[in-house]
C-alpha cells in the first residue's frame, strides 16, 4: 500500500500502475465531495492485482467497481462484481448499463498503446542507445516528475525489441523502498521508472539513465563497452528519426520497421554459428573475429549473441 496514490503524494492522478515480484498492481483513485452512503469518506483508492499486463482492462473494471461501491456504500457490491467478472468474463456498469468484458481488451493491443515516435523525437539519434540497451538486455532507468508521462514511456520501450514481446521487464513506478530496490537488483535487465530525480545518482541501478525532463540519456561509465556505436547503429538511428518525423508513419509502423532490422541482425548473427556442414555449432569470439568485422561490430555482436543465448558453451 506504500504505492497507493493517497499515501505517496500523487493523488491527483486517477490511474496508476506498476509491477513488483511479477505481479501488476493498479490503483484507481477518486475523491468524494459528498456521499450519503459514505459520509466520512473523502477519497477512495481501489487496487487490482494481476499477473498479466493489461492496464486498460484493469482501469475499466476498477472504475465500475468504484462506482458500485460509491452507490452502495458497501464492499459487498464490489465483491459481487469481481465474482461476475471472474466467472462470466464481464461486469456491468449500473450507472450506464454498459457492459465491460475482458474480450474487449485484447492483451495484445495493450502492447501497442505506445508513444514510440515521441520518444524518438525527444532524443533524436541518441534514441539508439535505448534500443541497444534493451537489445543487449541491460538495465534502463527512466525519470520524469510527471507520473502519466513516466508510465506511458516505460510501457513503450519494450516495443523497441518487439521480437521478445516481453513486458515483464517493465517496472514503471518504482520507489526507493528496500524491497523494491532489492528485487530490481536481482534482475539482469529491466526498464524501471522513477519520479525521484535523485535516482540519477544511483549508478548501481542502471546502465543507461533516460531523463525525460531534460531530454538526455546518460551512460553509466561502467557500462560504456556495451554502447560503442558503429555504422550499423548510426544507420538504424537515422532511419528511426526519419520515420518518427514522418507524419504519415504510425507508431506501429515504426515498431515494424525496427523489428525487421532487428530480425535481419539476429538472422545474420545466427548464420555465423553454422559450420561448413550446415550444423549449428554456436557462436564464439573467434567465430566473430574470423569475419573481419570492425572492433565495434565485434563487441556488439558478441554481447548480442549472449543476450540471445547463441554463445557456444
Could you report the per-residue pLDDT of 182-237, keeping only the tens digit for each? 999 999 999 999 999 999 999 999 999 999 999 999 999 999 999 999 999 999 99
- Cα 217 from Cα 30, distance rounded (Å): 35
Cell 515483464 -> residue: 168
Mean pLDDT of 62-91: 89
Q: What is the pLDDT of residue 19?
A: 96
Q: What is the pLDDT of residue 93?
A: 84
Q: Is the pTM of this model over 0.85?
A: yes
- Cα 102 from Cα 58, distance rounded (Å): 9
Mean pLDDT of 49-59: 95
Following DSSP, what letter does each residue of 217-281 receive, concatenated? EEE-GGGGGGG---HHHHHHHHHHHHHHT-TT--HHHHHHHHHHHHHHHHHHHHHTTB-TTS-B-
Task: With beta carbons less than 8 A apart as the criterion, state whether 42 and 58 touch.
Answer: no
Q: What is the pLDDT of residue 279?
A: 67
Residues 74-96: b if buried by 16+ CB within 10 A, e if exposed: eeebbeebeeebeeeebbbbeee
Amino acid at each position: 500500500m506504500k504505492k497507493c496514490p493517497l499515501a505517496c503524494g500523487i493523488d491527483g492522478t486517477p490511474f496508476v500502475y506498476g509491477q513488483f515480484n511479477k505481479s501488476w498492481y493498479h490503483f484507481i483513485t477518486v475523491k468524494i465531495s459528498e456521499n450519503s452512503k459514505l459520509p466520512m469518506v473523502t477519497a477512495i483508492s481501489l487496487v487490482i492485482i494481476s499477473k498479466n499486463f493489461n492496464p486498460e482492462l484493469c482501469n475499466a473494471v476498477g472504475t465500475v467497481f468504484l462506482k458500485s461501491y460509491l452507490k452502495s456504500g458497501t464492499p459487498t457490491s464490489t465483491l459481487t462484481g469481481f465474482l461476475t467478472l471472474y466467472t462470466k468474463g464481464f461486469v456491468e456498469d449500473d450507472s450506464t448499463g454498459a457492459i465491460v468484458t475482458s474480450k474487449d481488451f485484447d492483451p495484445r493491443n495493450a502492447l501497442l498503446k505506445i508513444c514510440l515516435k515521441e520518444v524518438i523525437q525527444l532524443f533524436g539519434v541518441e534514441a539508439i542507445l535505448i534500443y541497444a540497451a534493451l537489445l543487449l538486455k541491460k538495465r534502463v532507468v527512466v525519470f520524469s516528475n510527471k507520473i502519466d508521462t513516466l508510465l506511458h514511456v516505460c510501457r513503450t520501450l519494450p516495443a523497441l525489441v518487439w521480437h521478445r514481446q516481453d513486458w515483464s521487464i517493465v517496472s514503471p513506478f518504482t520507489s526507493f523502498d528496500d524491497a523494491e530496490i532489492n528485487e530490481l537488483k536481482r534482475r539482469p535487465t529491466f526498464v524501471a521508472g522513477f519520479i525521484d530525480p535523485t535516482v540519477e545518482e544511483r549508478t548501481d541501478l542502471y546502465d543507461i539513465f533516460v531523463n525525460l525532463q531534460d531530454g538526455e540519456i546518460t551512460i553509466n561509465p561502467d557500462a560504456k563497452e556495451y554502447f560503442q556505436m558503429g555504422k550499423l547503429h548510426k544507420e538504424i538511428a537515422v532511419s528511426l528519426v526519419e520515420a518518427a518525423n514522418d507524419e504519415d508513419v504510425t507508431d506501429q509502423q515504426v515498431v515494424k520497421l525496427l523489428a525487421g532490422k532487428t530480425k535481419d541482425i539476429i538472422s545474420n548473427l545466427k548464420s555465423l554459428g553454422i559450420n561448413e556442414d550446415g550444423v549449428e555449432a554456436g557462436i564464439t569470439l573467434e567465430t566473430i573475429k574470423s569475419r573481419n568485422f570492425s572492433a565495434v561490430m565485434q563487441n556488439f555482436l558478441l554481447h548480442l549473441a549472449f543476450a540471445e543465448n547463441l554463445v557456444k558453451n
